[in-house]
Structure 1
Amino acid sequence: MNARATSGEPGRAGGYDLLIDLAAQRQRGAGARAGLEAALREAVRDGRLGAGTRLPSSRALARDLGLARNTVAEAYSQLVAEGWLTARQGSGTAVAARQTAAEQAQRTGQTERTAARTATGPAGRPAAVPDAVRLPYSLWPGSPDVSAFPRAAWGAAARRALTAAPSEAFGYSDPRGRPELRAALAAYLARVRGVRADPELLVVCTGFVQAVGLLARVLRDRGGRRIAVEELGFPDTRTLLRAGGLATVPLPLDGDGARVEGLDGTADAVLLTPAHQFPTGVPLSPARRTAVVDWARATGGVVLEDDYDGEFRYDRQPVGALQGLAPEHVVYAGTASKSLAPGLRLAWIAVPPDLLDAVVREKRLADHHSPVLDQLTLAEFIGSGAHDRHVRRMRLRYRDRRDRLVAALAERVPSVRVSGIAAGLHAVVELPPGAAPSAVLTERARQRGLALGGLDLLGARADRPALVIGYATPPDHAFAGALERLCAVLAESCG
């Protein structure tokens, strides 16, 4: 019997279809119960029934297959005992989570690769990044507290934006982005970051990753071959630039930020995080800001400014955008990923006039335009003042977390040094001489359910052991637990 079983029992698993091939099992000489068990095992084994899939009730499945209900119930019970299925009172029967042989081998390999693990993935991202998603606690840098996303305010802005949207907004749009958002961004960036940009020169991108890719291709097509980047930073950025056809030249860092005095003759462009270098946290000094602008004016070079978390400062006056000094030579890039959430996939670049047509062409070829409804919502969110209120609220929350981190480390692990804390969403914890290597610390943290990132994964030398602590990442309810585990790992490893 090859039957489609449909559950119709109200309140249980109503409406679930299940294709069971009992005819093949009977040809093999199996009885009704054994055949049903074998058919279900086979469906789970070959992936037709994935983990968590709800099965029809025994009554409904028996009716649809023409079997006795006891036969189905006994088959379910046997498969539950074997671990193929799970059954809970009030929740019915479902397929249990099972590892394939490949998954088991992969997990075994990951377990065997302990403290020495410093490899990177195919896109240059540290291999430990998935731990930040899987583990119960995470202090991985580069993310805000996504649980604090302002759902109610965003939803209200979305409803207002949708109601007011002109019909033409739902068609194909200007590759630069919706004019409502570009106008809102131009006013906001001028007020908050000192950016001088006409809305016509703003291009909305689907995240900072897309912005970097667009700019790399534009620079390559203009004849650029080399771009200088800070020696420490997200590996993905260098990978994206190289994928766009540019060779990357590392810029050393010191207490004044990137050392830009060596740009002459070595690069056609430079990518900087001048307001708050990632990960060291130092701003580019006034003298070097002037020097890099002078270099761009003298050589025709292009400066790419990544202002990834410019809204969050705590113990100093905000550092304005470098773009305000030379809009004709600096491409300013900002994003909603830190102020709101990475899942929005909204970023923007303020482009010098001579690059605009080329950037718009690349954007059109990439995806024509970014999602319109989210653009309209962000425009309304900014224009209504909700964005400012959210940023101020999060600034206070992140500052409190930073203070708790610094105080806890000073009390429990006084041998470490914390730096880069005047702004941003992370801190650098420098380890004392004789401490265990950062790779060992991150493995010990992983065993405690905590995701940590070492400075070595961002390009630092092995003789500079340090951790980069993303104190903004955990939700409020998990921050204390993450901080406790961090202190325990450091106390154990730093003597």
Structure 2
Amino acid sequence: MHVPPVVLERDADRPLATQLADALRAATAGGVLRPGDRLPSTRELAAALRVSRTVTAAAYDQLVAEGWAAGRRGAGTFVVGAAPSAPAPRQAGAREPDRRAPAVDLRAGSPCLEVLDPAAWRRAWRAAGDTPPDALPDPAGDPAFQATVAEHLLRHRGLPVEPPAVLATAGTSTAVAEVARLLPPGSRVGVEDPGYQRAAEALRAAGVEVVPCPVDDDGLVVDAVPDGLAAVYCTPAHQWPLGRRMPAARRVALVARARAEGWWVLEDDYDGELRYDVAPLPLLAALGPDVVVHLGTSSKVVSPTLGVGWLVAPAALRADLLDRRTATGTRPARAGQRVLAAMAASGDLSRHLRRLRRELAERRGQVTTELGRAGVPVAGDPAGAHVLVPLPDAATEAAAVAGAAARGLAVDGLARHRTGPGPHRPAAGLVLGFAAPSRAELLRSLPLLADVVRNATGAPPRGGGAPVVSG
């Protein structure tokens, strides 16, 4: 605990309590105060600044109301979040911003770091550092990592694979681009629309034509996939971003078309481990190991810090990938591979996954309950770390995204996930992630989000009632 440097202008028009709250925010933004730091007591700070205790108490009350500080009974007041930088001077006639709105990131795609055990994280890095450095490059990946992924796929995804068949990657998008570079010039690759735009951009960067393919409540519409493709990229376990699962019959049909027409199926299993309602359906790679390239990543279940993923492909394609890596000298870095292998070897990875599933299941329940009470529908399977809030049209979606930003909530609209023009189902919506914020931030933001959606749709306030959940 220390008294941060604070300068109060006693002859200024702004109240001293407001000046003090602004100064403490600035100290947090500048790193002088950090999350977890204990603030001086109101009495101590008042004595140090030579102001009344009423001033310091009012400033602390303001910071607590905004969510930058929290009081702990018998322990004091602590910094709990990094504040934004000081605002620019307010122009004449400009509306005073709502300082009480929490800055919460509700965009999908980030992991839930709140449940990652810091001690386990440090142990894994130390264990990885004990591994001797490599003398020669290996384009396939670290053997311990390959064995870890093979065991992981068998235990959590039901896919039997030998360790040498696993290729380490630098992540899903990089792996998609690697496969695309092996396709003939001018190839066309189908992608889900709406779908994962980083994969689409990786394909374009690799020089192939991206062809939008429609999705519905059961994922990729196999019958609507056009002819003449070299590959199809899809997310069957938990369609991104609609959150639906492709049923077994459609999976069989997709594999059958790939065999009949000679395409690769790029199966992105980005969060397949995070199903917490029923057992996951068989992977496409299990149904069609001769035509499916299976892709996985550690970014959603641990952290993108590791920068590692994996690829399981038919033998001929795997050999071509290794030849291309050897010829170009490209290979994924081993540090993250070794850290993930160390987490698995100690049992920390399995424990983390159990905690993560339990936490995300509880968070999803809170999201559907709180939004449902307000009459806001939520769609998507009980899996992963995001849901969809359907909206009637693009104008309503844009209004909701802007309204959320004005309340300090970062949210994504479906428009950002579109690949091509034309009619889509659903027409619009918010893709709501619930993994990135802390549990407290999430709970604090849900009433605000419900209010934003009601304002955007013109719906009247609604109290009580059962959750409104579709899918």
Q: Does 1:388 align with 2:350?
A: yes
Which of 433, 448, 451 is equivalent to 1:470? 433
Given the alignment, which residue of 482, 485, 488 partners 2:445?
482
What is the CA deviation profile of residues 190-249 of structure 1, one whole-angstrom value per residue up to 9, with x for unaligned ones? 2211223322221111122211111111124xx560111111112222111111111111
8 Å Cα contact 1:149/1:340 also seen in 2? yes
Q: 253, 259, 263: which one pairs with 1:297?
A: 259
Given that 1:426 and 1:470 are in contact with CA atoms closer than 8 Å, whether structure 2 keeps it comes out as yes
1:209 aligns with 2:209: no
2:319 counterpart (353, 357, 374): 357
- C-alpha change, 1:444 and 1:192, in structure 2 (3 Å) is same
Distance 1:363 1:490, change over 3 A: same
- Whether the aligned pair in 1 keeps the contact of 2:400 and 2:456 (CA below 8 Å) is yes
Report the counterpart of residue 146 of structure 2 in structure 1.
182
Letter in 2 for 1:444: G
CA distance in structure 2 between the aligned counterparts of 1:366 and 1:233, rounded to whole angstroms: 30
SS at match of 1:228: strand
Given that residues 137 and 481 in structure 1 are in contact (C-alpha distance below 8 angstroms), is that contact kept between their aligned partners in structure 2? no
Residue pairs, 1:7-406, within 5 angstroms: 136-163=103-130, 165=131, 167=132, 169-220=133-184, 225-263=187-225, 265-364=227-326, 368-406=330-368
Q: Which residue of 1 aligns with 2:401?
A: 442
1:388 CA drift (Å) = 1.5
What SS class does the counterpart of residue 244 from structure 2 fall into? Answer: coil
* Deviation sequence 1:172-206 (CA, Å, 0-9, x none): 33111101110111122122112233222211111
1:264 offset after TM fit, Å? 6.3
Displacement, 1:391?
0.9
Find out whether 1:420 has 2:380 as its counterpart: yes
Alpha-carbon distance in 1 for matches of 2:31, 2:114 = 27
Q: Distance in 1 between matches of 2:327 and 2:407?
A: 46
Indicate the residue corresponding to 2:14 in structure 1: none
In structure 2, what is the Cα distance between the partners aligned to 1:98 and 1:338? 32
* Cα distance in 2 for residues equivalent to 1:159 and 1:343: 15
Q: What TM-score do the two structures reach when normalised by structure 2?
A: 0.72
Q: Distance in 2 between matches of 1:422 and 1:98?
A: 40
Distance 1:151 1:269, change over 3 A: same
Deviations 1:47-86 (A, max 9, x none): xxxx9699xxxxxxxxxxxxxxxxxxxxxxxxxxxxxxxx
SS of the aligned residue for 2:181 comes to helix
SS of the equivalent of 1:240 reads helix
SS in 2 for 1:195: coil
Deviations 1:17-39 (A, max 9, x none): xxxxxxxxxxxxxxxxxxxxxxx
Paired residue secondary structure (1:218): coil
Structure 1: gaps spanning 5 or more residues? 1-50, 55-96, 112-134
Moved over 4 A (4+): 51-54, 364-367, 460-463
SS at the partner of 1:342?
A: coil
Higher percent of residues as helix:
1
User: What secondary structure does 2:202 align onto?
Assistant: helix
Displacement of 1:476: 2.4
Shift of 1:365: 6.0
Contact in 2 for aligned 1:175/1:368 (Cα 8 Å): yes
Q: Which moved more, 1:479-488 or 1:299-308?
A: 479-488
- In 1, distance between residues paired with 2:225 and 2:381? 28
Q: How far apart in 1 are the matches of 2:397 and 2:299?
A: 27
Q: Secondary structure at the match of 2:295?
A: strand
8 Å contact kept, 2:361–2:382: no
Q: Distance in 2 between matches of 1:447 and 1:362?
A: 48
SS at match of 1:170: coil
Cα deviation, residue 336, structure 1: 0.3
**Distance (Å, rounded) in 1 between the aligned partners of 2:286 and 2:455:** 47
TM-aligned CA deviation for residue 265 of structure 1: 2.6
- The aligned counterpart of 2:410 is 451
CA distance in 2, matches of 1:191, 1:449: 40
CA contact (8 A) 1:148 1:475 kept: no
Taking the aligned partners of 2:339 and 2:234, their CA distance within structure 1 comes to 30
Are 1:431 and 2:398 counterparts? no
Between the aligned partners of 1:253 and 1:265, the Cα distance in structure 2 is 17
Q: Does 1:493 align with 2:452?
A: no
Aligned length: 366
Cα distance change of structure 1 residues 52 and 418 upon mapping to structure 2, 3 Å threshold: closer
Tell me how far apart the structure 2 counterparts of residues 422 and 366 of structure 1 sit (CA, whole Å). 42
Gaps of 5+ in 2: 1-28, 33-84, 95-101, 460-471
Cα deviation, residue 376, structure 1: 1.6
Quote the RMSD (CA, aligned, Å).
2.9
Larger Rg: 1
Quote the Cα distance in structure 1 between the aligned partners of 2:258 and 2:341: 32
